[in-house]
Structure 1
Amino acid sequence: MSSDERALDAGTLAFLTRPGLTRLWTAARTRLERNGLRPTGTVRLQHLDAPEREALSLLLARPVTGPTVTIGLPDLDARLRASAAGRGLAATLEELGPPLTDRRALRDAAAAERAHVWSTARTELESTSLSSRPWAARWLEDLRRGGTLTRQDPHTATTVVTQAIRTLAALFPDGEAHPAPVSWGRGELATRVTGSAHGLDDGTLLSRLVLRGMALAHDTDFPTDAPTRRALWRAASVSPDEVSGTVLTYGLRPTGDTWQEKALRERADHRRETHLTLRDLRTLHLKMPPGTRVHVCENPRVVEAAADTARTAPLVCTSGSATTVVLTLLDALAASGCAFAYHGDFDWPGIALANRVTRRYAAEPWRMRAPDYEHLATRTHLHGTPRLPLTGPPVEAAWDPELAPAMEASGIALHEEAALDLLLEDLG
């Protein structure tokens, strides 16, 4: 067994671990880990106290008398080898623990892995129809500079950028941004490229990379909301799923003469609710009678009760969130000149949703002011209804600065069903 492999004897270990040497070992460890574990350069210790000066003097075999000392790591390495430690600085620090980390080697390895990601991506790009297109080269360079993939592990980064290139090559088989000869369903395209029908779903890293490339190919801005994302997919001959998401409606009576408008009026006449998809809304001409006032609620129970009691006012339900299909319908109704009244849950998510709808459509609050909340809170208390605690961070109501303080003071959340009888009166 070599001297560097033998364990330190108890006396040497006790000396090297004395408190007066702690700062030296910390500084030396930091320097070695930066230097590729080579004992080069110096460390400087300031504001030395008496125990530190004594310990350093014994270790270095020279007097340390001032408040500051500069120690050359080559000298320290040689001194340790010649001492009872019988090993160099790196081996000594390993023995004292914890193990040293060669940070320079880690940086070099990480840099090599990143370089491999981009060399693989460039090779993949050059093998496709995109190789001669300036927009594709710019897209790849923007990705490299932007750091989006740098935050991923190398395997994930390589996989995603390769899949993105293959997706764009499928969409632009000759590299040009015109409708592709093949029309894709987004799930079908995702399955071909990734093996999963959800590989290009909104919010995935792959979909963001592909959309960025598509935007460059079409010389347009990167889409920042669901409608513009869908428009960009369609421009590349990709059909997003437009049938799974629906918006719940009741009592809509558009004035058009197509079978769709007639069907809506007939369902309204028969007091039946209607679920509309994005595909419906793309072809539906929602021209409404002048001055139509549309009530917007949050919970489907309001629509159900309106139908059961033969109410006549037009009603749209967000079902708890302003999804793309909900906003698409409300946008179309707003464009036809409709005015809106909004009611939702008296809890913080409900207020946040109400803020979004009232701001976007200048909607009138519908029994959603502080007195309305206080009346309902009092009524539920008198009826002995169990209290539902109000939880989460408060949200100020854009239409009534008194509402949030009233809700905080009471501490009760009230769902829309608590006001159902009052809402039905208004829908008559």
Structure 2
Amino acid sequence: MTDFRTTDSRTTQQPPAADALAFLTRPGLTRLWTAVRARLERNGLEPTGTVRLQNLDAQEREALSLLLAKPLTAPTASVRLTDLDTRLRSSAVGRGLTETLQLLGPPLTDRRAARDATAAERARLWSTAEASLAGTRLSAQPWAAQWLEEIRRGGAIARQEPGLAATIVTQAVQTLATLFPGVSTEPAPASWGRGELATRTTGSAHGLDDGTLLSRLVLRGIALARGVDFPADAPGRRSLWRMAAVTPDEVSSTVLTYGLRPVGDTWGERALHERADHHLETHLTLRELRGLYLDLPPRTRIHVCENPRVVEAAADAGCTAPLICTSGSATTVVLTLLDTLAAADCTFAYHGDFDWPGIALANRVMHRYGAEPWRMGVTDYEYLATGARLRGTPLLALAGTSVDAVWDAELSSAMEVLGIALHEESAIDLLLEDLT
């Protein structure tokens, strides 16, 4: 058995003997060290207070009796950390409680000091933010103080690394000060591109990209300045940017169209007409959609597909029916066009991939626009799957979590049974018949 009796003080300067370390790491002391570690980390690493151990087994009572130099027979024990510290210093271990726990590992964390440091960093952050705000004309705006208080309470900034948090808040203040340089809530007369503004205030053209924390903070400030609610979707965010004389990116994302023949007589409508007459597809940007007057005859049937290959095939075949392609996802520009056509009293028929993401997208489009399924029933799926097998086409396994098709209660079950995913291209011949 390890000799854990009091030793000469000269041993405190020596590394603990192997048998002393072996004693400290015996299983019977595991719960003690866990409890002591937690208490030390709460105490600022000071050996004060008491830990209480319950339901001790025989192995634990024996180990504690040897460690504390007193017999323990009860199933419960209270250990004062000061007594344990003294006992360790005068034993073969030769060091105090904190040093012993550091030796046994892992390293102790002074949680009190960490909390104090975090609080100090947070105080410095908001002090810097207030100073930054005070250095601009925003300080005269009641909404600016409200904005700073809201982002302080929101918590998103506090979750960032301190240096990054300070940078984001400072850049948000600088951006708002650039947009509202006067003493009123009216934006500057100059119009900014969002990338240009981001470069000016952050050094990066992508600093104010949609979805970034910085862009959210700036938009919240714009909403307060203009007295409007914070938007919940991408179109609303773009509208809010424009309220501050900022033009968001409206040209990089497009929607693929074919056969649109609006009744208007502006050059934009005429261009769509001519391209449709020449069987040419057209990519429309958000910027174009804002300027187009898409008035079609009432109840015009618009076919909507998921894959660009369908549009290409329709153009090659000289089809005449209007066709919109989601290109695999209902992005803002796609929804903007469909919203515009829905407002013009158009109706929709939708076709997509027979896989789970395709079913999910079809559900969204059908729910939002009351679209009819277009060759998307269980009989269509089974017909295409059978044809693929008969032709010896390599079959693509259906993967992922199943999604119920809202328009056909039997479709998802049939897809699970056959286990085959069918991309839209497999139905092109059938789709072209409907578009001719």
TM-score under structure 1 normalisation?
A: 0.96
Q: CA deviation at 1:400?
A: 1.4
Residues 27, 43 of structure 1: 8 Å contact kept: yes
1:86 to 68, 71, 94: 94
Residues 1:110 and 2:110 are matched in the alignment = no
Residues 177, 236 of structure 1: 8 Å contact kept: no
Give the unaligned 5+ runs of structure 1.
none
Amino acid of the structure 2 residue aligned with 1:57? S
Q: 1:19 to 1:416 in 2, by over 3 A?
A: closer
Residues 13, 94 of structure 2: 8 Å contact kept: no
CA distance in 2, matches of 1:406, 1:206: 47
Residues 11, 92 of structure 2: 8 Å contact kept: no
Residues 233, 239 of structure 1: 8 Å contact kept: yes
Deviations 1:348-372 (Å, cap 9, x if unpaired)?
1111111111111100010011111
Amino acid of the structure 1 residue aligned with 2:317? T
Q: CA deviation at 1:421?
A: 0.7
Residues 1:158 and 2:150 are matched in the alignment = no
Give the unaligned 5+ runs of structure 2.
1-8
Residue pairs, 1:220-231, within 5 angstroms: 220-231=228-239
- Matched residue, 1:408: 416
Residue pairs, 1:332-411, within 5 angstroms: 332-411=340-419
Residues 3, 87 of structure 1: 8 Å contact kept: no
Q: CA deviation at 1:89?
A: 1.0
More moved, 399-408 vs 180-189 = 399-408
Q: CA deviation at 1:97?
A: 2.4
CA distance in 2, matches of 1:289, 1:56: 90
Residues 1:314 and 2:322 are matched in the alignment = yes
Amino acid of the structure 2 residue aligned with 1:263? A
CA RMSD of aligned residues (A): 1.5
Q: CA deviation at 1:4?
A: 4.6
- Matched residue, 1:128: 136
Identity of aligned residues (%): 71
- Matched residue, 1:169: 177
Deviations 1:83-107 (Å, cap 9, x if unpaired)?
2322211122222222222121112
Amino acid of the structure 2 residue aligned with 1:28? V
Residues 42, 111 of structure 2: 8 Å contact kept: yes
CA distance in 2, matches of 1:96, 1:308: 75
Q: CA deviation at 1:5?
A: 4.4
Q: 1:94 to 1:290 in 2, by over 3 A?
A: closer
Q: CA deviation at 1:187?
A: 0.4
- Matched residue, 1:138: 146
CA distance in 2, matches of 1:54, 1:302: 79
Q: CA deviation at 1:279?
A: 1.4
Q: 1:82 to 1:393 in 2, by over 3 A?
A: same
More moved, 60-69 vs 142-151 = 60-69
Amino acid of the structure 1 residue aligned with 2:425? E
Partner SS, residue 255 of structure 2: strand
Residues 215, 222 of structure 1: 8 Å contact kept: yes
Q: CA deviation at 1:12?
A: 2.5
CA distance in 1, matches of 2:183, 2:407: 50
Amino acid of the structure 2 residue aligned with 1:327? L
CA distance in 2, matches of 1:323, 1:2: 75
- Matched residue, 1:285: 293
CA distance in 1, matches of 2:139, 2:73: 68
- Matched residue, 1:50: 58
Q: 1:54 to 1:427 in 2, by over 3 A?
A: same
Q: CA deviation at 1:172?
A: 1.0
CA distance in 2, matches of 1:102, 1:291: 71
Residues 1:206 and 2:188 are matched in the alignment = no
CA distance in 1, matches of 2:159, 2:18: 46
Deviations 1:215-234 (Å, cap 9, x if unpaired)?
11122111111111110011
CA distance in 2, matches of 1:412, 1:5: 73
Partner SS, residue 198 of structure 1: coil
CA distance in 2, matches of 1:365, 1:224: 29
Residues 242, 278 of structure 1: 8 Å contact kept: yes
- Matched residue, 1:192: 200
Q: CA deviation at 1:2?
A: 7.3
CA distance in 1, matches of 2:59, 2:314: 84
Amino acid of the structure 2 residue aligned with 1:377? A
- Matched residue, 1:425: 433
Q: CA deviation at 1:60?
A: 1.9
CA distance in 1, matches of 2:387, 2:171: 58
Partner SS, residue 397 of structure 2: coil
CA distance in 1, matches of 2:275, 2:38: 76
Amino acid of the structure 2 residue aligned with 1:169? A
Residues 397, 421 of structure 2: 8 Å contact kept: yes
Deviations 1:12-55 (Å, cap 9, x if unpaired)?
22333333222222211111111011011001011122232222
- Matched residue, 2:244: 236
Residues 138, 177 of structure 2: 8 Å contact kept: yes
Deviations 1:170-212 (Å, cap 9, x if unpaired)?
1111253324211100000011111111111111111111111
Residues 214, 232 of structure 1: 8 Å contact kept: yes
- Matched residue, 2:70: 62
Deviations 1:284-312 (Å, cap 9, x if unpaired)?
11111122111111111111111111111
Q: CA deviation at 1:376?
A: 0.5
Q: 1:3 to 1:216 in 2, by over 3 A?
A: farther
